[in-house]
Structure 1
């Protein structure tokens, strides 16, 4: 059988997936049609859960000091400081910076990125996939066990695989420009003004990003006809501020087109990121959900290629992530209508602002945007944390007395069984997990004082490589079934 995997697309999702596969011991190559990173950044930050995903691989620290941002739901402010969990997102990180960091990581791991390689087609067999491409040296082919399309909204992999991409056509849009040399009042979560909405924030080194939704303008179908003068004219009409003399770095437009791939897997072909879901930007969710797709898929695909995956493991990529994509479509469409509709929406905005004063409502809406409310069906058990993520910054005290955090345990992208002194039959737990020692690390220690005091703090737990809890004690369900379910037979 052909081994390894081919990833199409060197954006954040493709790069993250390549790193996950390499950590899983799989040979991987990334094919990218662009000769170099574009330097353009539709995304300028990421959600809390995406930050945690980077953190659990030791990558968050590479971003340096980051700006933690408050959030909103469709322009309705939510006070994150009053919530129990940490929903603060990261703001002001251009997408090209994220790509630089991930590329540096892949270089350390020895992953090959082949630029100027445009995929022309592929053929699938029972034991692999052969990808045809056009590269600097002409046409060529590359073989692997699996092909993953991380090649964006217009994914050629999705199209050639014949995977449907149903959804909703655009009804409204936004214009965007990155400018230098203008005195712009900051409006980081946007501000409604007569005629629409305006947003402005610092991007980097004196560069401001401005975004407008003007009810009288629709983004052009051909972006080559978009000019900064159009954007500056509309900005002045809506705010009274003149920006026409600014230096322009980039202009673009986007709509509220919303689509989701009907299938995330078709045989040996898989999709992740924007190849599976597109929507109006809202709360930095697009790239962030894509990065979480990659981390969910990476260890499962690696396990399948390495031959130890239990039956059906790779199919759980679709069954777990497709519902997340459906909720993403719903919440971004709701936010778009709430934020960008006209004055007729003011009564609902006022009601929503009242509702988010209730802690349960605030947690629910914040969790949808931050990604912290994702809970997978991981099998039998009733522990309240089952299926949720384990915070990577959770402090631990290991048996030898040394301090650690969950991120230290998850960095190798392996399963982890963590056993505390409160666990019943701890010796038996360790002996059971030892049979899966080539896939699961067993660590003994205790929670640091704050976590230890939590009423639902597990006495022991099994964590998947993506950071989600597959089993926790005390519970009527034992660990062996969870180990077999997620890490195969031994």
Structure 2
């Protein structure tokens, strides 16, 4: 017996990336099916960190309610009076890296267990009407000119075939979608051996909390409730020859003892596992109607806690674009920008996590380099480049052409605006998930922009506001907070010649303009 399931988009993988993407699609009216092999959310400790850019994007979409303060005019937890908000993190095991965000943004580092985030997104996905098939193991993927089909085995052995127009593989590092669809990858072999687990320590001499480097490697210890201690080890002598073999408590005990140089007695262990610095990046994120996101597309050494954030940013980038494509409202080539924007970002994460690992290797020849970076981190403000890199706040998307404004591809930070409807801010205005055309003041530029936007009425929200210090006369902002067009680059004769305005950027987002016969069509989209 074969059971059929239909959806406009099928997502394989029900972790935080897959569930977030499902939320984005269903919230825009796209019928979505999620296939997940696990029958329930795993309690195994995994990622615990969301960095600034991921937090900023999620707050703009309203996804972190109850998990983080901030995200609205006058909300608690955001900076005020021009005062930046800062959190302390680490770089290559060196404490003291200061990650800052502008006033008005949520705190830059959100500590939240992946299990909690996954449940949070799943509740929202179910409320939006997403169909979630848990306990279903994918066995095959096929792509045709009109859509895709995914074969899975349900509990009890029943075969299920899910069909849709598009498929997204968000099924982790061992992605079945990536393998079955034939995506090529660039891989970096493992060079170190690492272990992880929660243990109970016995005896008076335990392990001090935090990151500790010895001449043989690293120990990271974090005390937990109930007398447990979460341990991570790093052995730089080489990759473990049997990386797939299950880790047992005695082996972890020996490893910790070897790195620290003393016997550490462990009475009990749970969630024991191995990992390494093996890294992989898919050669492309799209093959026809099939996409990759999260660990299915990229894996790297987890030293900076950036894996979850990188996957979240994949989902935020792809969600609104895929929804437009399903509804037939996407501009030609819009779906291809997912690969162009997100794959270089993942390559950058892989590169600088490998660089951090180099600094963590115990060789004495690296002491001058470690001292140099330690000094940069300790000085706070001078570590801004490192902080922006770790938090992904240095990400600038490629512009549409060489003559675009310097604003294009940058992220629009939260700003309080005085609109025709009253006071608002960027975070609140983006909550609907539609692109914003922000028009500041009344002038020839803003009048012309509003007129051009009539061709895409209902797809872009036009907001008139008083001039804002430091901002150009007009900005087109994507749902993820990045700027798609700005008036700054318009030459003095652009409007006279008909070449100025956001029309080209709107066309890239939504395709050809629609004919608007009634002047009142736009009224419901103007603030």
Q: Structure 2 length normalisation: TM-score?
A: 0.83
Return 36-45 or 57-66, whichever deviates more.
57-66
Matching residue within 25, 28, 44 for 2:29: 25
Indicate the SS of the match to 2:65.
helix
**Residue equivalent to 1:254:** 275
In structure 2, the residue matched to 1:126 is 145
Aligned residue in 2 for 1:326: 347
2:64 is the counterpart of 1:60: yes
Give the drift of 1:300: 1.2
Taking a change above 3 Å as real, the CA distance of residues 184 and 405 of structure 1, as seen in their structure-2 partners, is farther
Q: 2:212 aligns with which of 191, 196, 199?
A: 191
Offset of residue 360 of structure 1: 8.6
The answer to whether the aligner puts 1:229 opposite 2:233 as a matched pair is no
The question of whether the paired residues in 2 share the 8 Å contact of 1:7 and 1:147 is answered with: yes
- Unmatched 5+ residue regions in structure 2? 1-5, 70-76, 78-84, 491-499, 514-527
Deviation at 1:474, TM superposition (A): 2.9
DSSP-derived class of the 2:456 partner: coil
Deviations 1:403-422 (A, max 9, x none): x3222122222111122227
2:45 pairs with 1:41:
yes
Match of 1:376 among 364, 379, 397: 397
1:276 corresponds to 2:297: yes
Other structure's SS at 2:153 match: strand
Structure 1 residues 129, 194: CA separation in 2 closer, same or farther (over 3 Å shift)? same
Q: SS of the residue aligned with 2:152?
A: strand
Residues 1:274 and 1:410: Cα distance change in structure 2 (over 3 Å): same
CA drift of 1:145 comes to 0.3
Report 1:63-74 matches (<5 A). 63-64=67-68, 69-74=87-92
Change (3 A) 1:357 1:39: closer
> How many pairs were matched up?
479
Residue equivalent to 2:197: 177
| CA deviation vs aligned residue, 1:21-55 (integer Å, no higher than 9, x gap) | 11232111000011111211321111111111221
Verify the 8 A CA contact 1:78 1:362 in the aligned structure 2.
Answer: no
1:298 aligned counterpart, secondary structure: helix
Deviation at 1:431, TM superposition (A): 2.8
Q: Secondary structure at the match of 1:425?
A: helix
| Partner Cα separation in structure 1 for residue 166 and residue 101 of structure 2 | 42
CA distance in 2, matches of 1:130, 1:293: 23
1:325, 1:217 → 2: CA distance? 25
Q: Distance in 2 between matches of 1:241 and 1:432?
A: 72
Check whether the contact 1:87–1:372 (CA below 8 A) recurs between aligned residues. Answer: no
Rounded Cα–Cα distance in structure 2 between residues aligned with 1:32 and 1:101: 16
3-state SS in 2 of match to 1:387:
coil
Q: CA deviation at 1:200?
A: 2.2
The question of 1:389 aligning with 2:383 is answered: no
Distance 2:123 2:223 in 1: 25
Query: 2: distance between equivalents of 1:196 and 1:181?
Result: 20
Asked if 1:291 is matched to 2:312, the reply is yes
The equivalent position to 2:124 in structure 1, one of 82, 96, 105, is: 105
Alignment of 1:434-453 (within 5 A): 434-446=454-466, 452-453=468-469
Structure 1 residue 343 and structure 2 residue 343: aligned? Answer: no
**Cα distance in 2 between the residues matched to 1:196 and 1:100:** 35
SS state of the match for residue 60, structure 1? coil
Instruction: State the partner residue of 2:11.
Output: 7
In structure 1, the gaps of 5 or more residues are: none
Q: Is the 8 A contact 1:87 1:370 kept in 2?
A: no
Out of 369-378 and 341-350, give the one that drifted further.
341-350
Report the Cα distance in structure 1 between the residues aligned to 2:200 and 2:464, rounded to whole angstroms: 53
Q: Secondary structure at the match of 1:482?
A: helix
Instruction: Return the alpha-carbon distance in structure 2 between the equivalents of residues 262 and 214 of structure 1.
Output: 30
Over 3 Å counting, the alpha-carbon distance change for 1:212 and 1:15 in structure 2 is same
1:3-35 per-position Cα deviation (integer Å, ceiling 9, x unaligned): 611000001111111111112321110000111
| Alpha-carbon distance in structure 2 between the residues aligned to 1:89 and 1:203 | 24
Q: 1:148 to 1:177 in 2, by over 3 A?
A: same
